[in-house]
Structure 1
Amino acid sequence: MAVALVAAATLATATPAEAGQTSLRAADPSVLRVGGTYISVQSTGGGIAVRQASSTDGLAAAPARQVWSDTRNLGEVWAPEITTDAGRYYIYFSAGRGPAHRMYAISSASAASGYTAETRLALPDDKWAVDGAMFVFAGQRYFVWSGWAGDTNVEQNLYLARMSSPTTTTGGRFVISQPRESWERVVGNPFINEGPQPIRDPDGRLHIVYSANGSWSDQYCLADLRLRAGGDPTYVWDWYKSNGCQFGSNRATMMAGWDPTVSANGPGHHTFVLLNGDIATSPPAGPRFPLMYHAVPKGTPYAWENRHWYTGIFAWWGGSTYTRANVPGATSDTGFGLKFFE
């Protein structure tokens, strides 16, 4: 991890621009790489736009091409997520108003054109749902999202369901995380776990890295869920949660041994920039790898309209022990965690 440590030291005195702030005022980046091309999606103009560039830094200046518009007036369009399956592009997004938010998908053989009309995903229990992402782990396709247990806005949990195709879930929904730790309940009404992003570590273990605390606050941060070796992704007690934020701007909520940001305030809702969006291509243990996230520049009022896309890096961090109490199973688990750098 020497390279990661050097990166941390270098960035400790970085200006906001040097620390990866782009000119794009937007939230919820989703980026993948296909060959040498980086492809991003964002919610804009009452629909969804795609950008393409030769680097993550170049995305902000790349033209935004509208690939879907809300012609049926579904409502607020939030957090589109792009991935691929069998050579086809899929964009998942939430649309609706208030309690009516549900997950939808569009697909195309081309990244920036030719998308189908939206298909509503029939998620188990049919409750409020946002921030959905599809992935394949151990040969099984899954969908992970943030949602409500019932019909009221009490808290946002993370749920998982198996899939039989990129647009069809099968079986029930399984809660895998709830915002119940003190460090993820600093800002509430509601308390949240959202923006789940799957990735596979060098030991082959599944992680879901998510955003905690209110996105309207500089307490917004990233935390990690790590599946135990040989664990069942749909069984909540096979997951171990980091004991604090692993990427955030407030030292009081950071996991011991993790430092707060210098320039970016309230980092969250990130994207791992994976080849074809496939967690099977998750980077191995080694130096550092690209990432994008949204944040507000420090010294700027923390507000949704002040969010920018940022480029950053992350590294796998071996020997990371997560502990828990008063639940079934072992009270601690050691494996890879993640270090994030501006």
Structure 2
Amino acid sequence: MRLPRVPIVIALLAVAALAAVRTAPSAEAAQVMRAADPSVLRVGSTYHSVQSTGGGISVRSASSPDGLAGATARQVWSDTRNLGEIWAPEFSMEGGRFYIHFSGGRSAAHRMYVISSTSAAAGYGAETKVALPDDRWAIDGSMFTFNGQRWFVWSGWAGDTNVEQNLYIARMSSPSASTGARYVISQPRESWERVVGNPFINEGPEPIRDPNGQLHITYSANGSWSDQYCIADLRLRAGGDPTYVWDWYKSNGCLFGSNRSTMMAGWDPTVNVNGPGHHTFVLLNGDIATSPPAGPRFPLMFHAVPKGTPYSWANRYWYTGTFCWWGNVTYSRANVPGPNTDTGFGLKFFE
């Protein structure tokens, strides 16, 4: 069973310059607020973040990502039905409505729920349970549209016991209901994502589309209670089927992490923080169709622990960072169906 989340301290760092350079800038953390698992989107010139606040969900709005730190937290939903632990609310937009998907429950009872409103920071009604295939333990769900189809990706169990957390994808007929089966797209089976386990974990999936139009699902690997927590990438091959696991190619190591031994060749570990993970791409309207082009850097938010500080949930901070696309990156694999390599865009993350 995944360990319960606790309130954490967050720090937001100023977003780095948007020039695409190849060295990671240094940064200083500034303690500002308590929260976990950032999710941020931009609507016009306003940035909205959502966070779990004990027995509820709160939204902040500001004119810049780092301005969210000082913004008023408006509670938009309360756990009046006593669902239990409220984890990882995730913002999205569709048809002029804001949707917040989140996990609620205790122990093996965790399931995904959704609330919605026409306003980012008010007007949400009661939660609706998301009808996912097989009705298994589920957390960290994210809704997005790709090639005209609404999709949902999440971290879950194959059965009723916590052997490992896999990434699943399903087609959605609405923001609260799936259609068809769930399909596994990633399992924590590589050595670099099995450094810390019991269980071994793939979680925090975040969809984004690269400049070639290919779908990526970046995610967090290794236990969130360890400084081995890191971000990796799944890239759907050109023309691939999102429901077919062998059309997905996994990065050969962490793309954003603090331990050199688990980093993909050509990627360097972080300088200022340990265990970066559970990130959010700050996209216009939260829509992957607005994913950035190749070249400049764009805003990113993630949580981590400052180097020199004991690694614990209580010591995690939010940070603003940046990311950019990195061309001609080959992901390789062996002893599975399909070609052994796939070359395309990868990602570089910066503190």
Q: Same fold (TM over 0.5)?
A: yes
Q: Partner letter of residue 172 of structure 1?
A: A
For residues 17-40 of structure 1, give each alpha carbon's deviation from its aligned partner in whole angstroms, at most 9, with x where no partner exists: 3xxx55233220000000000000
Query: Aligned residue for 1:331?
Result: 340
Partners of 1:242 and 1:329 lie apart in 2 by 16
How big is the shift at 1:189? 0.3
Which of residues 288, 295, 301 is equivalent to 1:279? 288
Q: Which residue of 1 aligns with 2:301?
A: 292
Contact 1:25/1:307 (<8 A) preserved: no
Alignment of 1:31-50 (within 5 A): 31-50=40-59
Segments of structure 2 that go 5 or more residues without pairing to the other structure are 1-17
Is 202-211 or 279-288 further displaced after alignment? 279-288
Residues 72-91 of structure 1 correspond to what in structure 2 (within 5 A)? 72-91=81-100
- Alpha-carbon displacement from aligned partner over 1:33-89 (angstroms, at most 9, x marks no partner): 000000000000311000001111111111100000000000000000001000100
TM-score (norm 2): 0.94
Q: TM-score, normalised by structure 1?
A: 0.96
Describe the SS at the equivalent of 2:223: coil
Partner of 1:157: 166
Query: In 2, Cα distance between the equivalents of 1:210 and 1:171?
Result: 24
Structure 2 counterpart SS, 1:59: helix
CA shift, 1:5, in A, is 2.3
Q: Partner residue of 1:175?
A: 184
Q: CA shift at 1:15, angstroms?
A: 4.0
Pairs within 5 Å for 1:185-224: 185-224=194-233
Partner of 2:110: 101
Task: Verify the 8 A CA contact 1:22 1:57 in the aligned structure 2.
Answer: no
Return the letter of the residue paired with 1:28. Answer: D
Determine the C-alpha separation between the residues in 2 that align with 1:198 and 1:94.
18
1:16–1:264 CA contact under 8 A, matched in 2: no
Task: State the alpha-carbon separation in 2 of the partners of residues 282 and 264 from structure 1.
Answer: 26
Q: Which residue of 2 aligns with 1:110?
A: 119
Percent identical: 79
| Match of residue 262 from structure 2 | 253
Cα distance in 2 for residues equivalent to 1:77 and 1:251: 33
Residue in structure 2 matching 1:5, options 1, 21, 24: 21
| CA displacement, residues 277-310 of structure 1 (integer Å, 9 cap, x when unaligned) | 0000000111100000000111111111111110
Check the 8 A contact 1:210/1:269 in 2, yes or no: yes
Matched residue of 2:80: which SS? coil
- Alignment match, 1:127: 136
1: CA distance between counterparts of 2:213 and 2:31? 33
Deviations 1:166-189 (A, max 9, x none): 211100000000000000000000
- The C-alpha deviation readout for 1:220-253, integer Å capped at 9, x for no partner, is 0000000000000000000000000000000000
Would you say 1:25 and 2:37 are equivalent positions?
no
CA distance in 1 between partners of 2:326 and 2:19 (Å): 12
Tell me what 2:241 maps to: 232
